[in-house]
């Protein structure tokens, strides 16, 4: 069955969160006299992300937007690093660093090309306002902004993929999930979706190259431009 719609993971797949968070944290906090490892700061903040979603996925806690979760995680990380006494405005500004992440260099043109032939939407754990801001920041144009907020749950729960595909007017088998993370793609594949793995070896920094092992995808590419070439039809 032909592919009609493409769903995209965002953090890591479209944006380089580690470099962007590291740089913004430094810009905001070093004038205040703090100087931890900024890459370490980014890694520590990101490390709180998946564990914080677990109580929501399991139903033990009600759904909360990622902005709120990022804020809570930030307070924990700051405490762990001994960074204290930040005012509300600084905390807000730092939390919203996740709205100002820079895209990998191929993404803007890649999405433009892919949108010529397919309906495209993010299927992100980021809340809608976060992805709206990322999209403006990076000049991306979507057909819709989908993912956790629309489903009221977090990936890799099936409802997030299924609600996103349906909202785009696509059956699962007409939908291609695009991500740099094998687990994200496996979850989509189990629902009957097609999968495209985009290699982002630098996502976790140069010392932790991410390589998928032993999982097969329908497509594998190093950039969205390469994926557009492989999917074809856009000349």
Note the residues at the interface with its own copies (CB under 8 A).
Answer: 119, 127-129, 131-133, 135-136, 141, 143-146, 149-150, 166-169
Cβ–Cβ under 8 Å, residues 185 and 217 = yes
Strand order in the sheet with 119-124: 146-147, 119-124, 5-8, 175-179, 194-198, 219-221
Between CA 187 and CA 165 the distance in angstroms is: 13
The distance of closest approach from Cβ of residue 116 to its own copies in the complex, given in angstroms and rounded to an integer, is 11
Cβ–Cβ under 8 Å, residues 81 and 36 = yes
The distance of closest approach from Cβ of residue 132 to its own copies in the complex, given in angstroms and rounded to an integer, is 5
Between CA 164 and CA 116 the distance in angstroms is: 20
Q: What radius of gyration, in Å, describes the C-alpha atoms of the chain? A: 18
Name the 3-class secondary structure at 166: helix
Between CA 154 and CA 126 the distance in angstroms is: 9
The distance of closest approach from Cβ of residue 64 to its own copies in the complex, given in angstroms and rounded to an integer, is 13
> Toward its own copies, which CB reaches closer, 149 or 203?
149
> Toward its own copies, which CB reaches closer, 141 or 230?
141
> Toward its own copies, which CB reaches closer, 163 or 181?
163
> Toward its own copies, which CB reaches closer, 74 or 131?
131
Name the 3-class secondary structure at 146: strand
Q: Which residues pair with 119 in a beta bridge?
A: 5
The distance of closest approach from Cβ of residue 61 to its own copies in the complex, given in angstroms and rounded to an integer, is 20
The distance of closest approach from Cβ of residue 50 to its own copies in the complex, given in angstroms and rounded to an integer, is 24
The distance of closest approach from Cβ of residue 6 to its own copies in the complex, given in angstroms and rounded to an integer, is 13
Q: Which residues pair with 124 in a beta bridge?
A: 147
> Toward its own copies, which CB reaches closer, 5 or 12?
5
Q: DSSP readout, 5-48? A: EEEE--BTTTB-HHHHHHHHHHHHHGGGT--S-HHHHHHHHHHT
> Toward its own copies, which CB reaches closer, 20 or 135?
135
> Toward its own copies, which CB reaches closer, 169 or 209?
169
The distance of closest approach from Cβ of residue 210 to its own copies in the complex, given in angstroms and rounded to an integer, is 30
């Amino acid at each position: 069955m032909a592919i009609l719609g493409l769903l995209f993971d965002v953090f890591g797949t479209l944006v380089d969160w580690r470099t962007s968070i590291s740089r913004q944290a430094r810009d905001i906090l070093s004038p205040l006299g703090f100087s931890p490892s900024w890459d370490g700061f980014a890694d520590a903040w990101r490390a709180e992300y998946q564990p914080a979603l677990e109580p929501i996925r399991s139903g033990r806690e009600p759904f909360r937007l990622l902005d709120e979760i990022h804020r809570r995680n930030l307070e924990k990380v700051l405490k762990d690093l001994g960074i204290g006494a930040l005012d509300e405005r600084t905390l807000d500004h730092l939390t919203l660093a996740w709205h100002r992440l820079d895209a990998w260099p191929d993404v803007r043109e890649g999405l433009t090309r892919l949108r010529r032939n397919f309906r495209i939407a993010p299927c992100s754990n980021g809340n809608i306002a976060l992805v709206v801001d990322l999209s403006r920041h990076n000049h991306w144009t979507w057909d819709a902004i989908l993912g956790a907020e629309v489903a009221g749950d977090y990936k890799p729960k099936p409802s997030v993929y299924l609600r996103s595909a349906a909202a785009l007017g696509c059956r699962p088998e007409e939908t291609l999930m695009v991500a740099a993370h094998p687990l994200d793609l496996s979850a989509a594949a189990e629902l009957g979706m097609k999968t495209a793995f985009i290699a982002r070896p630098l996502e976790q920094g140069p010392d932790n190259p991410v390589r998928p092992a032993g999982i097969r995808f329908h497509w594998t590419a190093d950039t969205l431009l390469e994926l557009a070439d492989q999917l074809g039809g856009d000349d």
